[in-house]
Amino acid sequence: MRTHPQPAAGSRSAWHLLTHPRAIWTAPSQPQREADLGAVLAGGSRTVACFLSADFGPYPRRLRQGVLRVELPTAAWRPFWSLRRQDLALPADLVVAGVRDASASDRGPKDWLFQVVVARCPEGTLTMAVPTADVAMVTRYLSAT
């Protein structure tokens, strides 16, 4: 049976915000964010809210809302709204090409909550919009694998 990993510090669900209303106005602390990366590198896993698109493979061509499961040895993305919600493994040879702020042209992620991580591999370019608090964990994870 597959266990549900803990959400990363910056990926708060609606239920979490209802049960912890102060979390709406407070950003995750640096120790919380570092604990997420440490847990993943030690063999644990975290989930990150993630809009994803790519110009290759089975990935969506436009940014689509989903959940990124970050764990060793590979990460996988699953669409949030879909009848067939199958995990799509991210290529192991992704290299982070850059990080930028989300903009209105990205259609989906709110520019004040998300940053866009652009990663490349031989097959093409993969774009992920992740919560600003989780960008460091995602980029360091991709660099470590």
Please give the residue that has the higher pLDDT: either 113 or 60.
60
Please give the residue that has the higher pLDDT: either 77 or 143.
77
- pLDDT of 106 strictly over 90: no
SS (H, E, C) the chain: CCCCCEECCCCCCHHHHHHCHHHHCCCCCHHHHHHHHHHHHCCCEEEEEEEEEECCCCCCCCCEEEEEEEECCCCEEEECCCCCCCCEECCCCCEEEEEEECCHHHCCCCCCCEEEEEEEECCEEEEEEEEHHHHHHHHHHHHHC
Full-model pTM: 0.82
| Domain boundaries, given as residue ranges, for the chain | 6-144
> Looking at residue 145, what is its pLDDT?
72
Is 93 buried (19+), middle (13-18) or exposed (0-12) by CB count in 10 A? exposed
> Looking at residue 1, what is its pLDDT?
37
> Looking at residue 124, what is its pLDDT?
96
- pLDDT of 7 strictly over 90: no
- Fold observed for domain 6-144: PH-domain like (2.30.29)
- pLDDT of 93 strictly over 80: yes
> Looking at residue 23, what is its pLDDT?
61
> Looking at residue 6, what is its pLDDT?
75
